[in-house]
Chains A and B, each alone.
Chain A
């Protein structure tokens, strides 16, 4: 099975940078995803890492270290609309590759 840990809540200031960490223990690994979920809405895909290193996509970057079972999502130039839950999800190595989600980190961006 998969065990995924991420902080429950974080608060940051508009314009700042925030890093959301995720650690995982897995019986099979074929990639790590970050999703954003606003209250009452569906998750939306942000990033995918399968190899070690940093993936950058605009204001958002995601990092993976497979040996450490560790990832982070970095959000730069925070905007009020970035207030949401951020879900770390690990894909297993079966054919259809189900994902196991963490509990999510609720980020509040303050003015």
Chain B
């Protein structure tokens, strides 16, 4: 079964540093998302991406965050200057049509120290 691939699985970074989280969505999917889940809390929407542009973003997705689809396969989330409260599991997700359930990647656990 096709998978969404995320790298790295774990990332530890110092406060103020930039991080790039990488995702390879399923190849024939059209809609891409980033969600995050702080330990013990709910899954929270960050941003959706369709047709090579951001469709929607949440209040969490401030100027420190950006997304890119630099080529036909990768989908990246950049956090420019990390804060302690950015520590969370970051999930990439994709689906073929907006109405279907997501396929999530296995996540990147980001720890900001």
* B99:A41 contact, CB within 8 angstroms: no
* B56:A42 contact, CB within 8 angstroms: no
Chain A, residue nearest B50 (CB)? A96
* A95:B44 contact, CB within 8 angstroms: no
Residues of A within 8 A of B (CB): 30-31, 33, 35, 41-48, 50, 87, 89, 91, 94-104
* Partner-binding segment picked from B63-71, B76-84, B102-110: B102-110
* A96:B91 contact, CB within 8 angstroms: no
CA distance A13 to B104 in the complex (A): 29
Chain A, residue nearest B106 (CB)? A42
Contact of A33 among B50, B55, B101 (CB under 8 A): B101
Min CB gap A27→B, angstroms: 14
B window 25-82: CB within 8 A of A: 31, 33, 41-45, 48-50, 55-56, 58
* A43:B45 contact, CB within 8 angstroms: no
Decide if B98 is an interface residue (CB 8 Å cutoff).
yes
Contact of A104 among B42, B49, B98, B101 (CB under 8 A): B42
Contacts of B48 in A (CB 8 A): 96-98
Min CB gap B108→A, angstroms: 11
